[in-house]
Amino acid sequence: FPETRHFSAGVVHLAHRERIAKTTTGLMSWRMIEKRGKWKVDKNSATDGDLFIAEALLKASKIWHNEQFKDEARTLMNDILRYEYNPQTNTLTVGNWANSKSKFYNLMRTSDVIPEFFDDFYQETGDQRWLLIKNTMLKRLNQLSHQHKSGIVPDFAWVSKNSAKPVKPNAVATKYDGDFLANACRVPMMLAQSDDPLAKNTLKRMMKFFSKQNTLTAGFTLKGKPLNKYQSASFSAPVFNAVSFNRNQGFDNLFMSQQYIFARPLPTKNYYDAALTTMAALEVEKI
């Protein structure tokens, strides 16, 4: 993530936080771009990044008994609800830029559905909206899963109060916006440890599909057609994570087939593959 945090004598210095209406928030600018040897901050937040930062701060506060980390986590959680939440659909938006004046206000990123985080945020704050977000977004994700025999879900979907549908190509960023690709690939990892029945049902449908593939390639259409011929750790790591926490359910073959991600050096020019592989390794250590 793009934020910088320097730890020294218990003091945390933050950079690259979003300013909205001249107010500095806890949200983070989603990336930095190098141009002509200089780094430029790409404004606007990304909800998935903010969710992970808030969860990381919560965990850090408990491990190191640090109240400042907890305060930062609370600030960030409050700002997510203030700037990245759509009360009309009871779902999180994709970032602070997708506000009520934007045509993307009803857009949902499927990898933002992280029930474990929402439970933690509720336990920390007592804010019932986190449970509402959890239940609503899990319903929309499950609806998307049941719209195709494959059970897989798209990167992005349009949501309403009661339903969800995949976006069309180029609705957000690329012609693959409505396919299972660079964002949706994380969904198995996001659902892996949830005990919620909807999360379990969605995950099981997806994992059954993956277990039937001769090769788990990098991306699929929602009908189950491979979009590429190669494998990628960005897809394999989340699936390995999910099967590790859900053994003996009919897709254990994935436990062996996806271990290849640990038999190769972490890539130095693909942060996404490296990050998801590292996350999978750290999570599986809990078992």
Give the residue-averaged pLDDT of 14-23: 79
Contacts of 224 (CB under 8 A, 6+ apart): 148, 149, 150, 152, 209
Output the pLDDT for position 16.
79
Output the pLDDT for position 7.
41
pLDDT greater at residue 267 or residue 1: 267
Residue from 225, 140, 141 nearest 179 by CA: 225
Per-residue CA distances from 226 to 105, 150, 178, 236 (Å):
30, 12, 14, 14
- Backbone φ and ψ for 109, nearest 5 degrees, come out as -90, 120
Does residue 8 register a pLDDT over 60?
no
Give the residue-averaged pLDDT of 212-223: 98
Q: Are 258 and 264 in contact (CB under 8 A)?
A: no
Architecture, CATH, for domain 84-284: Alpha/alpha barrel (1.50)
Output the pLDDT for position 152.
98
Output the pLDDT for position 24.
80
Per-residue CA distances from 154 to 55, 75, 147, 162 (Å):
24, 31, 11, 18
Does residue 101 register a pLDDT over 50?
yes
pLDDT greater at residue 119 or residue 9: 119
Output the pLDDT for position 30.
66
d(CA 13, CA 224): 46
pLDDT greater at residue 45 or residue 246: 246
Q: Which band of pLDDT confidence, cut at 50, 70 and 90, is reported for residue 108?
A: very high
Q: What is the mean pLDDT of the chain?
A: 92
